[in-house]
């Protein structure tokens, strides 16, 4: 069945509006979660009386984060907050891919996937080149 | 405790000024951390990238809800800003701090000059934001084509090739210097691609998060981000940006702009001296 161009563009516009609404939600939730976790980490750091400049810089160890969170150690909250910060834009792209696929816009979903591939490449290259 | 407060307070100031003047906080955070707290340049860039992601994510959600950002154009260009940022993140670990400081001094000078120029343009009668002119995008695109999908109300992005090349450069600048790259992307989209200024600003902001995340991941996995410094600074920047966006309408920005240009000039001199050893 042939869909008139005007109907097609109206459908595309409403699809984009839906996608925009859902990714705005992802961004807002991700920001609040990230800042909340970082703020808890900062408060715990302050309560412990540790100076960020004097303290030893704890390495990122994903396996230690749950234990640090349960023990209310600031490192756990700060690392989790940083990971949430870095993940928020990526979740936004993932939400866009899902949204555009749902709206039948495969090209836009493909672009979003390409962004995620570049990010995945960044993870692999950074791990391989890390000292 | 004092250092913690100073980091959060410095971040707050960077967030307020960045928000009032339409800049990401990065251009202020890197000098704050290097000169104020003695951090190595690369570590300051890593922390700055985290702060830039926080402010971009917060602002982008507002821009999207108000339908100001061109999501499709942003998604096209951020493939290339992220690629540039990935390369920039790797190159940053190969360059000496002095070279990075020299590049940052150039960025500060360029930003200061741009702010002075835009301030002068805004003061001229009849001057306003640069809008797309005689449709540089050329003849109309076929309905359903990819280029047609990138169009917004009253404009069609032109010169996609230049936009893509410029986006790679913006990603490189962001990753090397810890800034959002809006100083490259906004003029690129507005002046080269013919996207209205408000849309270019909103779209650039949307792209900053992904761009900075691509290089921040490299910094993080190579041990270039100190969570104890990044935490208080990012919380301060977020709070400052919130306050700045609320008071922006009530402040005369002309004097603030001049003051800020003076600060940029002084910082550029200090960065140049650092670069020269």
Residue environment code for B121-135, b if the CB has 16+ CB neighbours within 10 A, otherwise e: eeeeeeeeebebeee
- DSSP label at residue B133: -
Q: Rounded to whole angstroms, how far apart are CA atoms B25 and B48?
A: 8
| Residue B120 CA: distances (Å) to CA of A87, B127, B133 | 40, 9, 21
- Tens of pLDDT, residue by residue over B89-100, are 999 999 999 999
> Considering only CB atoms, which chain A residues are within 8 Å of B226?
52, 57
pLDDT band at B244; cut points 50, 70, 90: confident
Domain count, chain B: 1
CA-to-CA distance for B244 and B147, rounded, in angstroms? Answer: 36
- Is there a contact between B53 and A85 if contact means CB atoms under 8 Å apart? yes
Q: Give the chain A residue nearest B88 (alpha carbons).
A: A122
Which pLDDT belongs to residue B122?
A: 54
Confirm whether the ipTM is greater than 0.95: no
Of B91, B95, B31, B97, the C-alpha closest to B276 is B97
Higher pLDDT, B23 or A83: A83
pLDDT of residue A13: 60
Residue B53 has its nearest CB partner, among A5, A89, A108, at A89
Q: What is the pLDDT of residue B128?
A: 41
Could B231 and A81 be called an inter-chain contact, meaning their C-beta atoms sit closer than 8 Å? yes
Residues of B in contact with A7 (CB under 8 A): none
pLDDT digits (tens, 9 = 90+) for B155-204: 889 999 999 999 999 999 999 999 988 888 988 999 899 999 889 988 99
pLDDT in tens, B108-163: 998 888 878 776 655 554 434 444 445 555 666 666 677 888 888 888 899 999 99
Of B34, B51, B4, the residue nearest B267 (C-alpha): B34
Here the tokens at position B91 are: 């190159």
Per-residue model confidence (pLDDT) at position B87: 95
Is B43 in a helix, a strand, or coil?
helix
Alpha carbons B59 and A67: distance in angstroms, whole number: 33
- Burial class, A66, CB count within 10 angstroms (exposed 0-12 / middle 13-18 / buried 19+): exposed
Residue ranges per structural domain of chain A: 5-129
B57 contact A CB<8A: yes
Which of A54, A89, A118 is nearest residue B57 as measured by Cβ atoms?
A: A89
Instruction: Give the mean model confidence (pLDDT) for residues B234-247.
Output: 88
List CB contacts (< 8 A) between A114 and chain B.
79
Q: Decide if B115 contacts B257 (C-beta within 8 A).
A: yes
Q: If you average pLDDT over residues B255-275, what whole number do you get? A: 86
Q: What pLDDT, on a 0 to 100 scale, did the predictor assign at position B132?
A: 44
Q: What angle do CA B262, B266, B118 make, to 5 degrees?
A: 35
Among B175, B196, B183, smallest CA distance to B53 is for B175
* Poorest-pLDDT segment among A4-13, A90-99, B56-65: A4-13
Q: Sign of dihedral through CA atoms B267, B270, B276, B277?
A: negative
pTM: 0.89
- Cα–Cα distances (Å) from A89 to A31, A86, A100, B159, B255, in that order, read 9, 7, 16, 27, 35
- List, for residues B33-87, the tens digit of each pLDDT value: 999 999 999 999 999 999 999 999 988 888 888 888 999 999 999 999 999 999 9
**3-state DSSP call for residue B155?**
strand
> What does pLDDT average to over chain B?
86
> What does the alpha-carbon distance between residue A62 and residue B251 come to, in Å, rounded to a whole number?
45
CA distance B251 to chain A (A): 27
Q: Structural domain of residue B210, as residue ranges? A: 2-275
pLDDT (tens digit per residue) in A17-72: 778 888 999 999 999 999 999 999 999 999 988 888 877 777 888 999 999 999 99
Put simply, whether B241 touches A (Cβ < 8 Å) is: no
Q: Which of residues B214 and B113 earns the better pLDDT score?
A: B214
* pLDDT tens profile B18-33: 877 767 778 889 999 9
């Amino acid at each position: 069945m042939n869909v008139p161009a005007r109907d097609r563009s109206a459908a595309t516009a409403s699809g984009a509006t839906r996608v925009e609404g859902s990714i705005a939600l992802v961004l807002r939730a991700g920001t609040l979660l990230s800042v909340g976790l970082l703020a808890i980490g900062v408060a715990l750091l302050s309560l412990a009386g540790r100076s960020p400049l004097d303290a030893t810089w704890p390495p990122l160890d994903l396996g230690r984060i749950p234990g640090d969170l349960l023990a209310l150690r600031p490192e756990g909250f700060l690392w989790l907050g940083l990971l949430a910060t870095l993940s928020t834009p990526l979740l936004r792209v993932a939400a866009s891919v899902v949204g555009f696929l749902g709206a039948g816009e495969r090209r836009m979903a493909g672009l979003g996937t390409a962004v995620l591939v570049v990010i995945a490449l960044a993870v692999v290259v950074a791990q391989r080149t890390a000292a | 405790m004092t250092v913690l407060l100073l980091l959060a307070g410095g971040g707050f100031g960077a967030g307020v000024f960045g928000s009032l003047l339409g800049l990401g906080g990065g251009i202020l955070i890197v000098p704050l951390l290097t000169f104020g707290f003695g951090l190595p340049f690369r570590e300051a860039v890593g922390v700055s990238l985290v702060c830039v992601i926080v402010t971009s994510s917060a602002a982008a959600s507002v821009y999207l809800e108000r339908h100001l950002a061109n999501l499709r154009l942003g998604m096209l260009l951020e493939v290339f800003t992220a690629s540039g940022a990935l390369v920039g993140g790797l190159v940053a670990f190969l360059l000496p701090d002095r070279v990075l400081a020299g590049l940052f001094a150039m960025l500060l000078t360029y930003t200061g000059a741009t702010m002075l120029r835009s301030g002068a343009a805004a003061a001229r009668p009849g001057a306003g934001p640069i809008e797309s002119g005689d449709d540089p995008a050329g003849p109309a695109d076929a309905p359903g084509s990819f280029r047609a999908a990138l169009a917004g109300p009253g404009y069609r992005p032109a010169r996609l090739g230049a936009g893509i090349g410029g986006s790679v450069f913006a990603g490189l600048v962001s990753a090397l210097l810890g800034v959002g790259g809006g100083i490259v992307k906004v003029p690129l989209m507005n002046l080269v691609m013919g996207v209205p200024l408000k849309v270019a600003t909103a779209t650039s902001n949307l792209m900053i998060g992904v761009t900075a995340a691509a290089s921040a991941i490299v910094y993080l996995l190579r041990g270039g981000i100190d969570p104890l410094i990044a935490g208080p600074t990012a919380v301060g920047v977020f709070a400052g940006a919130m306050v700045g966006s609320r008071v922006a309408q009530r402040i005369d920005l002309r004097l603030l702009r001049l003051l800020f240009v003076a600060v940029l000039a002084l910082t550029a001199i200090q960065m140049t001296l650092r670069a020269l050893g």
